[in-house]
């Protein structure tokens, strides 16, 4: 029996013990956003440091201005990349508590009607269960081989669910210690319950808020109507003209840096069976609202967006008030892809808004962030190794997927530590993360452990 087969057999025989350790971890109420749970966050950090050290990854709790970090190292001296595994031990608040079937911090196994089993508890999928798939894979490897197959650094944070305020200064302060060849991040989903996935694209974000001011005060719409500019009309025009009839965004230079996907990738996406009916049907929609000449998966993964997140101005109370407001407001977000430059997008948007603002009106801008998109090199050796490991475990080719949202730590690893990230997760879309009755499929936990053992083994091949 090969070494990896022995490791996988140990993972299988250790599953009950692995579950018991996960349950102990899930019982800790590490809610980072609520100061009342400060001691629980400390307890979770200490618990992880003990577990990692027991596994053979020498770990310590590192103080920050907020919740502590946990950092561990295992130096093997073996050839191959030095990898950093990242996860977070904090969880979301449990409100509304009355919608939970049982205590959110008393984990339990539930057998569903189809016979599948799920772990129900706050943090089971986001991110304690995912985090522990890696820890348990490392444990089994150490028990069989006496060492890990390559050098590993572990970083667990306790503020991901509350904006990670301590992460950036911690990365800067500990850059030399934490810089590795590759980051491994397990905070993402599979394509479906039988198909693993690697996220290869994360969209960037530009957030802007505008205030258009017209008259010096609110006006009577009968006395001043038509003669006085209504800032609501100005805002409406700005919003209406930002996309044309095809859904194409009209800002100058907006598509500079947008990259079309390789044909082999788009062909693979065609085999995934995603349709507008499947994706939009559950939310009561049927027709994609983006660029009409692009597929659904292109719209949500590889094409940039322009969305209006809020708009207001004038009277909004009950009944009618015949008023022309003095000012109106709108919030916009642009999701970026490829090599789009966030600063250029911001400047182009502001120029566009000014061009739509009448001469006797003024506009004010507030920025809500400007971050670039991230993507993996499709020829990156670690990507091919990750795909092979997942296919060996799941029996099907891993889907290379995009993510419409962002994982800020991945950008921080790239810009601050100079390393790419391999994003492999075993969550599912129906895990109800951040919601009552959060769950994590037992199959995903078990095969997630096996998958990480295979990934480490493949990466060690160099």
pLDDT digit string (tens) for 153-206?
999 999 999 989 999 999 999 999 999 999 999 999 999 999 999 999 999 999
- The edge-to-edge listing of strands for the beta sheet with 362-371 is 307-313, 327-336, 204-213, 362-371
User: Residue for token digits 């090969």?
Assistant: 2
What element of type H or E holds 374? Answer: strand 374-375
As a whole number of angstroms, the distance between CA 310 and CA 120 comes to: 35
Note whether 18 and 143 are within 8 A (CB): no
267 in any annotated domain: no
Q: Which residues contact 216 (CB under 8 A, 6 or more apart)?
A: 326
Interval 76-92 mean pLDDT: 96
> In this structure, what are the phi and psi dihedrals at residue 314, rounded to the nearest 5 degrees?
80, -165
* Phi (first) and psi of residue 137, to 5 degrees: -65, -45
266: pLDDT strictly greater than 90:
no
Q: Are residues 100 and 21 located together in one domain of the fold?
A: yes
Q: Is the pLDDT of residue 1 over 90?
A: no
Q: Beta-strand (E) ranges in 50-151?
A: 58-62, 69-74, 83-88, 108-111, 117-120
In this structure, the answer to whether residues 410 and 338 fall within a common structural domain is no
Return the percentage of the chain with pLDDT > 70, whole number. Answer: 100
Task: Report if residue 248 sits inside a domain.
Answer: yes
Give Cα separations from 416 to 62, 130, 164, 173, 174 (angstroms): 19, 25, 15, 11, 10
- Does some domain include residue 266? no
Give the per-residue pLDDT at 251.
Answer: 98
Regarding whether 238 and 152 lie in a shared domain, the answer is no
Task: Please check whether residue 289 lies inside any domain of the structure.
Answer: no
Shared domain for 10 and 78, answered yes or no, is yes
Residue 160: inside a domain, yes or no? Answer: yes
Residue ending a domain, among 339, 371, 403, is 371
Q: Are residues 360 and 434 in the same domain?
A: no
Domain final residue pick, 318, 337, 371: 371
**Rounded average pLDDT over 286-302:** 93
Is 80 exceeded by the pLDDT of residue 462?
no
- Report the alpha-carbon distance of residue 398 to residue 259 in Å, rounded: 22
Residue 169, class by beta-carbon neighbours within 10 Å (0-12 exposed, 13-18 middle, 19+ buried)? exposed
Predicted local confidence at residue 342, as pLDDT: 95
Taking only the tens place, the pLDDT of each residue in 109-127 is 999 999 999 999 999 999 9
CA 253 to each of CA 339, 343, 344, 346, 353: distance values in angstroms, whole numbers, following the listed order: 12, 12, 8, 11, 15
If asked whether residues 47 and 120 sit together in one domain, one would say yes
How far is it, in rounded angstroms, from Cα 60 to Cα 57?
Answer: 10
**Beta-bridge partners for 219:** 324
372-430 residue pLDDT tens? 998 888 889 999 999 999 999 999 999 999 987 778 899 899 999 999 999 999 999 99
* Contact present, 140 and 452 (Cβ < 8 Å): no
Task: Return the structure tokens found at 112.
Answer: 């569903």
Query: Which pLDDT value is given to residue 442?
Result: 98
Q: What is the pLDDT of residue 294?
A: 93
pLDDT of the residue at 377: 87
State how many domains the chain has: 2
- The mean pLDDT of 308-318, rounded to a whole number, is 96
The predicted structure's pLDDT at residue 173: 97
Residues 70, 96 within the same domain: yes
Band the pLDDT of 65: cuts 50, 70, 90: very high
Q: Is the peptide bond before 235 cis (omega within 30 degrees of 0)?
A: no
pLDDT (0 to 100) of residue 194: 96
pLDDT of 371: 86
- pTM, full prediction: 0.86
Q: Estimate the crossing angle of helix 442-459 against helix 128-145, to 10 degrees.
A: 50
CATH classification of the domain holding 449 = 3.40.630.10
Residue range 349-374: average pLDDT? 95
Integer Cα distance of 352 and 260 in angstroms: 26
CA neighbours within 13 Å on the CB side: how many for 371?
18
The candidate with the shortest Cα–Cα distance to 22, out of 451, 439, 305, is: 439
Using a pLDDT cut of 90, give the percent of the chain over it: 90
How large is the average pLDDT for residues 87-100? 97
Higher pLDDT pick, 398 / 262 = 398
Q: What is the pLDDT of residue 376?
A: 87
Q: Is residue 290 part of a domain?
A: no
Based on the fold, state whether residues 37 and 103 are members of the same structural domain.
Answer: yes
Would you say 128 and 89 are in contact if contact means Cβ atoms under 8 Å apart? yes
Question: Residue 227 domain-assigned?
Answer: yes
Enclosing domain of residue 14: 3-202+373-459
The larger pLDDT score, comparing residue 29 to residue 282, is at: 29
For residue 47, tell me if it sits in a domain.
yes
Angle at 423 between CA 417 and CA 424, to 5 degrees: 145
Q: Judge if 351 and 448 occupy the same domain.
A: no
Inform me whether the pLDDT recorded for 215 exceeds 90. Answer: yes
- Round to whole Å and give the CA distance between 315 and 257: 42
pLDDT band at 334 (very low <50, low <70, confident <90, very high): very high
The reply to whether 312 and 433 lie within a common domain is: no
Q: What is the CATH number of the domain that holds 242?
A: 3.30.70.360
Q: Which of 181, 238, 223, 220 is nearest to 421 (CA)?
A: 181
Report the pLDDT value the prediction gives residue 265, as an integer from 0 to 100. Answer: 86
Same domain, 124 and 226: no
* Chain segment 436-449, per-residue pLDDT in tens: 999 999 999 999 99
Which residue, of 346, 371, 396, is where some domain finishes? 371
Q: pLDDT at position 167, please?
A: 96
Position 96 confidence tier, pLDDT thresholds 50, 70, 90? very high
- Rounded distance, CA 256 to CA 312, Å? 31
Residues 160 and 240 reside in one and the same domain: no
């Amino acid at each position: 029996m090969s070494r990896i087969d022995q490791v996988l057999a140990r993972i299988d025989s250790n599953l009950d013990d692995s579950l018991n350790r996960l349950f102990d971890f899930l019982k800790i109420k590490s809610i980072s956003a609520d100061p009342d749970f400060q001691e629980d966050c400390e307890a979770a950090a200490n618990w992880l440091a003990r577990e990692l050290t027991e596994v053979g990854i020498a770990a310590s709790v590192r103080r920050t201005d907020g919740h502590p970090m946990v950092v561990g190292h295992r130096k093997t001296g073996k050839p191959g990349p030095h990898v950093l595994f990242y996860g977070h031990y904090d969880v979301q608040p449990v409100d509304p508590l009355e919608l939970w079937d049982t205590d959110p911090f008393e984990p339990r196994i539930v057998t569903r009607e189809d016979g599948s089993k799920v772990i129900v508890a706050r943090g089971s999928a986001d991110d304690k269960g995912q985090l522990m798939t890696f820890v348990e894979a490392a444990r089994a490897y150490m028990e069989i081989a006496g060492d890990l197959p390559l050098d590993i650094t572990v970083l667990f944070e306790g503020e991901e669910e509350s904006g990670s305020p301590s992460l950036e200064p911690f990365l800067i302060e500990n850059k030399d210690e934490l810089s590795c060849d590759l980051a491994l991040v397990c905070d993402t989903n599979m394509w479906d319950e039988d198909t693993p996935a690697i996220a290869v694209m994360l969209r960037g974000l530009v957030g802007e808020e505008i205030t258009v001011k017209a008259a010096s005060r609110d006006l009577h719409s009968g006395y001043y109507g038509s003669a006085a500019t209504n800032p609501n009309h100005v805002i409406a025009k700005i919003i209406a003209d930002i996309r044309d009839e095809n859904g194409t965004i009209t800002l100058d230079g907006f598509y500079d840096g947008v990259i079309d996907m390789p044909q082999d990738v788009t062909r693979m996406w065609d085999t995934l069976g995603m349709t507008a009916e499947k994706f939009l049907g559950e939310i009561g929609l049927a027709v994609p609202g983006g660029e009409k000449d692009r597929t659904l998966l292109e719209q949500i993964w590889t094409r940039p967006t322009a969305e209006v997140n809020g708009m207001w101005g004038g009277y909004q109370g009950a009944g009618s008030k015949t008023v022309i407001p003095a000012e109106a407001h709108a919030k916009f977000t642009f999701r970026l892809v490829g090599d789009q430059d966030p600063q250029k997008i911001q400047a182009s948007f502001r120029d566009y808004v000014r061009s739509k603002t009448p001469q006797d009106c003024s506009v004010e801008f507030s920025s809500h962030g400007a971050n670039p998109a991230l993507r993996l090199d499709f020829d990156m050796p670690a990507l091919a190794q990750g795909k092979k490991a997942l296919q060996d475990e799941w029996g099907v080719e891993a889907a290379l997927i995009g993510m419409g949202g962002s994982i800020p730590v991945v950008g921080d690893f790239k810009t601050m530590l100079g390393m790419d990230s391999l994003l492999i997760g075993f969550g599912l879309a129906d895990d109800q993360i951040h919601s009552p009755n959060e769950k994590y499929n037992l199959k995903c936990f078990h095969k997630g452990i096996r998958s990480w053992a295979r990934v480490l083994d493949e990466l060690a091949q160099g």
